[in-house]
C-alpha cells in the first residue's frame, strides 16, 4: 500500500520525501478520483499523528489498473506552532489512506508499516 521514493533511508529533518499509498478494497484496486477528501494519515515517532491532503494519482495502464494517494514532504509540515519538521524524530512510521465522498461514504485502508519493497517505514537519526 505505501511506497517511498528510491532512497532506502529517510532521516530526521529530510524534506522532499515522496510517500504513496495504493488504494485497495478487499484486494481489488478502485478509482478514488471522485472522492471529495483524499488524505494520508501518518503516525510518526513519539505517537504524533499528522494528516496531510493527498493527491490521487493513477498507476500504469490505460485505463489505469491501480490508484495511489501521494504526498511529498515540504518544510515545516510537522506538528506544533510554529510547525516542526515532518520528520522531527527518529523511529518507526505508520501510514493509512483515507477517502471520503460527498454522500458521506468513508474509506480507510489498512495501516502499513512497510513500503512496497518490504522495508520498514522508519525515520533514521543523523550523524551530525
Residue 65 CB partners (closer than 8 Å, separation 6+): 29, 59
SS3 114: strand
As given in the structure block, the three cell numbers for residue 45 are 515517532
CA-closest candidate to residue 13, choices 125, 127, 116, 111: 125
- Relative to beta strand 24-25, strand 28-29 is antiparallel
Residue 103 CB partners (closer than 8 Å, separation 6+): none
pLDDT digits (tens, 9 = 90+) for 8-64: 689 999 999 999 888 877 777 778 999 999 999 999 999 999 999 999 998 877 777
d(CA 37, CA 52): 11
Q: What is the pLDDT of residue 1?
A: 37
Q: What is the pTM of this model?
A: 0.88
Is the pLDDT assigned to residue 117 strictly greater than 80?
Answer: yes
Domains of the chain (ranges plus CATH)?
Answer: 2-124 (2.60.40)
d(CA 113, CA 127): 24
pLDDT bin (cut points 50, 70, 90) of residue 69 is very high
Q: What is the pLDDT of residue 4?
A: 45
By CB atoms closer than 10 A (0-12, 13-18, 19+), residue 24 is: middle
Residue given cell 510554529 in the structure block: 82
SS3 30: coil
Amino acid at each position: 500500500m505505501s511506497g517511498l521514493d528510491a532512497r532506502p533511508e529517510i532521516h530526521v529533518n529530510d524534506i522532499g520525501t515522496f510517500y504513496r499509498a495504493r488504494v485497495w478494497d478487499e484486494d481489488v484496486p478502485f478509482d478514488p478520483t471522485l472522492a471529495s477528501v483524499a488524505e494520508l494519515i501518518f503516525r510518526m515517532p513519539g505517537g504524533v499523528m499528522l494528516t496531510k491532503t493527498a493527491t490521487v494519482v493513477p498507476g500504469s495502464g490505460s485505463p489505469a489498473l491501480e490508484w495511489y494517494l501521494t504526498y511529498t514532504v515540504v518544510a515545516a509540515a510537522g506538528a506544533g506552532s510554529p510547525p516542526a519538521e515532518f520528520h522531527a524524530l527518529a523511529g518507526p512510521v505508520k501510514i493509512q489512506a483515507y477517502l471520503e465522498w460527498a454522500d458521506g461514504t468513508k474509506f480507510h485502508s489498512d495501516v502499513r508499516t512497510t513500503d512496497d519493497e518490504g522495508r520498514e517505514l522508519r525515520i533514521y537519526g543523523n550523524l551530525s
